[in-house]
Amino acid sequence: MRLALDVDSLDEIAERIKYFMDVKSPQGLLDKIKMLPMLAEMGKFFPKTVSTGPCKEIIRRGNFSLDWFPILQCWPKDAGRFITLPCVVTRDPKTGKRNVGMYRMQVYDGHTTGMHWQRQKVGAEHYREALRNASVETLLRNVSEPPQETQQAASLRVDLMARSSGGSVLADGTPPGKMEVAVAIGTDPAITFSAIVPAPPDVEEYLIAGFLRQKPVELVKCETVDLEVPASSEIVLEGHVHLDELRSEGPFGDHTGFYSLEDLYPVFHLSCITHRKDPIYSTTIVGKPPMEDGWMGKAVERIFLPLMKLTIPEMVDINLPIEGVFHNLMIVSIKKSYPGQARKVMNAIWSLGQAMFTKCIIVVDEDVNVQDIGEVTLKVLNHIDPERDIQFTLGPVDSLDHASRLPNYGSKMGIDATRKWSSEGFARPWPDEILMDQKTKALVDKKWKELGID
Ligand SMILES: Cc1cc2nc3c(=O)[nH]c(=O)nc-3n(C[C@H](O)[C@H](O)[C@H](O)COP(=O)(O)O)c2cc1C
């Protein structure tokens, strides 16, 4: 990830974020002048549209097939071959804002794939927005009696039923029944990474990539859809998702270490493929951790810490252990200043973008090194009275959670492993941690040489 993002340490990026967040209103002319270099630097982050680029070297509108690319079936029980590293571009039908998200795509044939945007993701919200605008009759034709009534199909039907009538043309002028999608494969790693970062929906991923690379992402217009893709992409797939069509997707050997189960998802119909002359197909294999996506997640952890601190200022550090597959476990250290603060932090995390999926949150005091799992285990288990310190809550859970009572909905657990205070009703004395004093340490250190031990 350091190579991909061209830094010696991921903390460099976190430091840059902090630098930009530290902007105070300028007090006078001198302050304003001092801000000019920062403003000039910020200007570099915005994407710019160029007339053409390497991804347009070959343009195939009719004669194309996905079979040309070495798309992998990764695991024995996968439903087929999956595009696993796609940057999926959609536009909010209401606001016109673009989104780039990474959602796997199961290849059905040379021209169609699945579109696995999970229910709470931005691509899925664009799809729902398009559904809200489309004609009810068209939509109910196919969706009202899906072959297999799954949770997603049921919720989709509820969405459709609840929708008010009228408005059969989408706000962006697209005819009802379709939503435009473009998929860039083999992008600059900063762009690929920006497609996975859990940014707020209104922050455009191309801007994030520009910030990471410190130069604007160059975009080109697609041939058959009104969307823009990175000019330097190796391969671009253009097409539509039909609003009245769902198809079985999965199983797929997922990053949880288990197969994610078959469910109904929209279908992507390709209208055009453009690519470089000799394109390189990028892919990744997810599976039992640690795999490549684990390191992508770790980079997200480091880079997002300063942003999380904006809303949770008492947060000192976090660790999302790779085996916790990012949505299952977050260990957080905090500077505790008032009773009940650990629970406030849990609730704040459960309401913070995709951190809402976190199944278990462990909150410790600031003196615990959350990166040291041994220390965390020792202190957490010593410090808790389970019945008192464990908090359960209900809410949205990750679509990949196969244990929750319902798909996308279930319980979450927080453990308050901070020292308990009398103001929290703890009447007993709290013991000191065993630490050797400096004088004795120095005395022993001096003796190693005398004893001939290096
Ligand atoms: C390799 C890889 C594959 C992923 N596949 C999916 C997927 O199939 N569906 C999904 O909803 N999220 C998937 N994700 C996670 C999303 O990319 C991530 O949640 C992202 O923030 C979504 O973007 P959005 O907030 O713009 O919707 C994947 C992430 C990685 C690293």
The two three-digit tokens of residue 384, written as one number = 């808790």
Q: Which residues line ligand 1 (CB under 6 A)?
A: 84-85, 99, 101-104, 116-118, 121-123, 196-198, 284, 286, 293, 296, 354
Predicted pLDDT of residue 125: 96
Predicted pLDDT of residue 258: 98
CA pair distance 345, 334, nearest whole angstrom = 8
Of the pLDDT bands very low, low, confident and very high (cuts 50, 70, 90), residue 234 is very high
Residue nearest to atom 5 of ligand 1 (CA): 103
CA pair distance 88, 105, nearest whole angstrom = 10
Task: Examine the pLDDT at 146 and tell me if it is beyond 90.
Answer: no
Specify whether the CB–CB gap between 267 and 114 falls below 8 A.
yes
Give the distance, in angstroms, between the CA of residue 433 and the centroid of all CA atoms in the same chain: 38
The two three-digit tokens of residue 119, written as one number = 């229910």
Task: Examine the pLDDT at 420 and tell me if it is beyond 90.
Answer: yes
Listed in sequence order, the residues at least 6 apart from 283 whose beta carbon sits closer than 8 Å to its beta carbon are: 71, 72, 83, 84, 85
Residue predicted with more confidence, 374 or 176:
374
Q: What is the identity of the amino acid at 399?
A: S
Predicted pLDDT of residue 168: 39
Burial 9-35 (b: 16+ CB within 10 A, else e): ebeebbebbeeeeeeeeeeeeeeeeee
pLDDT tens for 68-114 read: 999 999 999 999 999 999 999 999 999 999 999 999 999 999 999 99
For residue 121, which of 102, 147, 140, 94 has the smallest C-alpha distance?
A: 102
pLDDT tens for 186-210 read: 999 999 999 999 998 889 999 999 9
CA atoms within 13 A on the CB side of 116: 24
Return phi, psi of residue 182, to 5°: -130, 145
CA pair distance 295, 301, nearest whole angstrom = 10
Radius of gyration of the chain (CA): 25
CA dihedral 408, 395, 354, 153 (to 10 degrees): 20
Task: Examine the pLDDT at 354 and tell me if it is beyond 80.
Answer: yes
Of the pLDDT bands very low, low, confident and very high (cuts 50, 70, 90), residue 28 is confident
Residue of 92, 244, 254, 263 with catalytic role: 254
pLDDT tens for 375-396 read: 999 999 999 999 999 999 999 9
CA pair distance 142, 77, nearest whole angstrom = 28
The CA 378 to ligand 1 mean position distance, Å, reads: 34
Specify whether the CB–CB gap between 106 and 249 falls below 8 A.
yes
Give the number of residues written for the chain. Answer: 454
For residue 268, which of 146, 108, 377, 92 has the smallest C-alpha distance?
A: 108
Neighbouring C-beta atoms of residue 446, cutoff 10 Å: 9
Listed in sequence order, the residues at least 6 apart from 308 whose beta carbon sits closer than 8 Å to its beta carbon are: 315, 318, 349, 352, 355
454 is catalytic: no
200 cis-preceded (ω within 30 degrees of 0): no
Q: 409-416 and 360-365 as β-strands: parallel, antiparallel, unpaired?
A: parallel
Mutate-to-test residue for ligand 1 from 103, 241, 293, 303, highest number of ligand atoms within 8 A of CB: 103
Residue nearest to atom 20 of ligand 1 (CA): 196
Predicted pLDDT of residue 30: 79
Predicted pLDDT of residue 18: 83
Mutate-to-test residue for ligand 1 from 119, 121, 205, highest number of ligand atoms within 8 A of CB: 121
Question: Secondary structure of 388-419 in the HEC alphabet?
Answer: HHEEEEEEECCCCCCCCCECCEEEEEEEECCC
Predicted pLDDT of residue 143: 54
Mean pLDDT of the chain: 91
The CA 371 to ligand 1 mean position distance, Å, reads: 25
CA pair distance 278, 373, nearest whole angstrom = 46
Predicted pLDDT of residue 41: 78
